[in-house]
Structures are given as structure tokens and as C-alpha cells.
């Protein structure tokens, strides 16, 4: 899954060197094809009673099963509206807040971490949010098979796993092949909003996104935080401590 400032710890922080070595072996060939890039780090997590109840009661309506074919999203959402894909929503607090603010838009959240899926479902029920659907599957495969070309109005990738060790940078989600495939699913004029609290990753994001010919930056380099992206309490604490957060907002050029 993606790193989220709402998480208590980064996924990477729980890995030993032995696990890193094993992961290196499993990840062999990442550079050969964008499907080998993973949008998440598998980790265990306890599902609370409330999250389990939400999974059982709301999951059948709001969780869309993965299928290796393009979905009819107008039918899934029961309306035609601008559609935003979010890759890795963590515990879903920001997703729910944005969806509540922008009820005229539909949000498709992709997340593999079951407690996070349960937490977002719980928020959907508490806030009566009708404009969110969830896919609990790897985002790269969802993007490849379930999202039609030129169908997305926006993409959110907030605080993806930073893979902070230099030898692991090749595993970061924001890579040229992945971005090119992502852009193919965006409509002309659609936006891509990334955010990270790791400066090195921000620099890589800026380099990769700027090099994609189908994208144009909406700012000179990093963008001011758009009003719709809420500041989490962990992000606010980091800012007080002098830690940076970098937003990047690009748009797909008109064909």
C-alpha cells in the first residue's frame, strides 16, 4: 500500500535486512515491465470490530471486485460524473473528506490494506457518502485492465511508499513506464496530483513527470497545496517540526 501520514509507521520501517534481500529477489525484473511495479507493501494489520462490521455490511455495495476487464463505471456509480482515481488511500480519512467536499465527483479508491478498506467503508457509512467505490487490489493491474483509455478526469497519489533506501528507489511507483500508462487512462485536460513528505522522492517525481511529454506542470515546479487536499494531524505535526511536504499537480496536454 502507499505510505500515508495517517499511518503510525512507514511500511519500510518494519522490514529487516533479510526481508529486504528476499524482497530484492522477488522484485527481480521490475525494470523490465511496468506491471512488475507494485503500488503497495504487503503487511499485516488488525481489523477492528467496527471495520469488520463495515466490511461485512457495506463492502458488498461499495467494494468492486477486481476483474481483468474494463468496468462500466457509470453503471457502478449509478450516474455519469467526473471520475477521480486514488491510488493507495491508507486509512481513507483524506479520501472521505475530499469526497464529502466534492460530491459532484466520483472517487475510485484502490487499496490492498484491509483495515484501511474497512476504515474508509466505516467513514462512508457515517458520512452517507455515495460517490466512493473501492477496489481492494494492486493498482497497477486495476489501471491496466479495469480503467478504459482516456476515461479519468483526475488521479490522486498521496504519500506513496518512499522506498527511502537508495537501492530500493527502483521500486517507487512514480516511474516513467508507469506514468506513461497512467497518462493513457487520463482524458485530455485531466489532472495528476501527487504529494510526498520525502524531498528525494519529490525531486524524482518532478523529474519523471516533467519528462513525460503528454503532461504539463501547472506550476513552475512544486504546486501550492490545493484546497481540497486536507492536512492530516501527522502532516501538521511534521510541518511544525520543520518537515517539508511537496505537492505536484500536472495536467494531460490536449491531444
| Residue 218 in marked binding region | no
Residue 111 counted as an annotated binding residue? yes
Do 78 and 8 contact (CB within 8 A), yes or no?
no
Residue 235 annotated in ligand binding: yes
Judge whether 138 is annotated as a binding position: yes
Close Cβ partners of 126 (under 8 Å, ≥ 6 residues apart): none
C-alpha torsion sign, points 59, 81, 189, 141: positive
Here the cell at position 3 is 505510505
What gap in Å lies between CA 206 and CA 209, rounded to an integer?
Answer: 5
Is 86 assigned a ligand-binding role in the annotation?
yes
d(CA 154, CA 82): 8
DSSP three-state, residue 224: coil
38 Cβ contact list (under 8 Å, min separation 6): 27, 138, 140, 171, 173
How far is the C-alpha of 108 from the C-alpha of 255, rounded, in Å?
Answer: 25
- The reply to whether 12 belongs to the active site is no
196 grid coordinates: 510526498
165 is in an annotated binding site: yes
Q: Are 192 and 249 in contact (CB under 8 A)?
A: yes
Among 197, 241, 138, 153, CA closest to 3? 197
Q: In whole angstroms, give the CA distance from residue 74 to residue 76.
A: 6
- Out of 72, 161, 221, 227, which one is annotated catalytic? 161
Which SS3 state, helix, strand or coil, does residue 45 take?
A: coil
Q: Which residues are catalytic?
A: 161
Instruction: Specify binding-site residues for substrate.
Output: 165, 197, 232-235
Instruction: Specify binding-site residues for S-adenosyl-L-methionine.
Output: 86, 111, 138, 161
Amino acid at each position: 500500500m502507499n505510505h500515508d501520514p495517517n499511518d503510525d509507521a512507514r511500511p519500510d520501517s518494519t522490514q529487516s535486512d533479510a526481508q529486504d534481500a528476499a524482497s530484492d529477489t522477488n522484485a527481480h525484473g521490475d525494470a523490465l515491465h511496468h506491471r512488475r511495479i507494485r503500488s503497495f507493501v504487503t503487511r499485516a494489520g488488525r481489523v477492528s470490530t467496527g471495520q469488520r462490521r463495515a466490511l461485512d455490511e457495506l463492502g458488498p455495495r461499495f467494494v468492486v471486485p477486481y476483474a481483468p476487464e474494463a468496468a462500466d463505471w457509470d453503471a457502478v456509480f449509478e450516474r455519469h460524473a467526473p471520475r477521480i482515481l486514488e491510488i493507495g488511500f491508507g486509512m481513507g480519512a483524506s479520501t472521505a473528506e475530499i469526497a464529502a467536499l466534492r460530491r459532484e465527483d466520483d472517487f475510485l479508491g484502490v487499496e490492498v490494506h484491509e483495515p484501511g478498506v474497512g476504515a474508509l467503508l466505516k467513514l462512508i457509512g457515517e458520512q452517507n457518502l455515495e460517490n466512493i467505490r473501492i477496489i481492494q487490489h494492486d493498482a497497477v493491474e486495476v489501471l491496466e485492465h479495469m480503467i478504459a483509455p482516456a476515461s479519468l478526469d483526475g488521479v490522486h497519489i498521496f504519500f506513496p511508499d518512499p522506498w527511502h533506501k537508495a537501492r530500493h528507489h527502483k521500486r517507487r511507483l512514480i516511474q516513467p513506464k508507469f506514468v506513461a500508462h497512467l497518462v493513457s487512462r487520463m482524458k485530455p485536460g485531466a489532472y495528476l496530483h501527487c504529494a510526498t513528505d520525502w524531498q528525494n522522492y519529490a525531486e524524482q517525481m518532478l523529474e519523471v513527470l516533467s519528462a513525460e511529454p503528454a503532461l504539463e506542470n501547472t506550476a513552475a515546479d512544486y504546486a501550492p497545496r490545493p484546497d481540497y487536499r486536507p492536512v492530516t494531524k501527522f502532516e501538521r505535526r511534521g510541518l511544525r517540526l520543520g518537515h517539508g511536504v511537496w505537492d505536484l499537480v500536472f495536467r494531460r496536454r490536449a491531444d
